[in-house]
Amino acid sequence: MTTNLTKKDLISFEEEIADCFNKAMIKAPVHLYDGNEEKMLKIFESINEKDYIFCSWRSHYQCLLKGVPKERLKKDILKGKSITLCYPEYNIFSSAIVTGSISIANGRALAENLKKSDSHVWCFVGDMSSETGSFHENVKYSSNHNLPITWVIEDNGKSVCTDTRKTWNMNNLSYEEFDLLQ
């Protein structure tokens, strides 16, 4: 998508939300981004307005880059909706449940495939989610049925506050060892 947002804009938004949270203006969990702004901007160069975005509870950047107005997004976050942001009119959906959007994203991709639509689905998951059975089953299904979906693994190296590789007792996560996402 063509956007006028910059790395600085994304960081500034998250800093503004962090400030609101630290002032106790938000009475709910808030999961902030840090450090992957350039990658997100690059990914969104390939995303079209008609494409669908599915993500987890950390979705502020996706919402902004998909076109959700900053003021509306901030208002919803201040209402405590940070981890459940959904804007159907922008084709963006998030879930507070770990891997909660994965099967739904795959279902949307199947629907788009059956309609012979040129819309594409983008599903953003964390590195911890990428190690679940649900993720692997959905990647396999989408690959076997040639569905119009791209799986984006956002690896910040943490499962909440614990190193993901330590959590799974692995030196490398499965997507690092195998070319799962061709």
Q: What is the pLDDT of residues 125-171, one digit of tens each?
A: 887 777 778 988 999 999 999 999 999 888 766 555 666 667 666 66
Can you give the residue range of the structural domain that contains 56?
Answer: 7-177
173 to 1, 15, 39, 124, 148: CA distances (angstroms): 30, 30, 20, 16, 24
The per-residue pLDDT for 96 is: 87
The token pair at 129 is 């989610």
Q: For residue 1, is it within any domain?
A: no
Distance CA 72, CA 177 (A): 41
Q: Looking at the 3D structure of the chain, how many domains does it have?
A: 1
Is residue 2 assigned to a domain?
no
**CATH number, position 22:** 3.40.50.970
Name the phi and psi angles at 133, rounded to 5: -60, -40
Helices (H), the chain: 7-22, 37-44, 60-66, 70-78, 102-114, 133-144, 164-167, 174-177
pLDDT along the chain (182 residues), means of 10: 88 96 92 87 94 93 97 97 94 91 97 98 86 88 96 72 65 55 43
Q: What is the pTM assigned to this prediction?
A: 0.86
Per-residue pLDDT, 62: 96
Assigned domain for 72 exists: yes
Tokens of 140: 């396999």
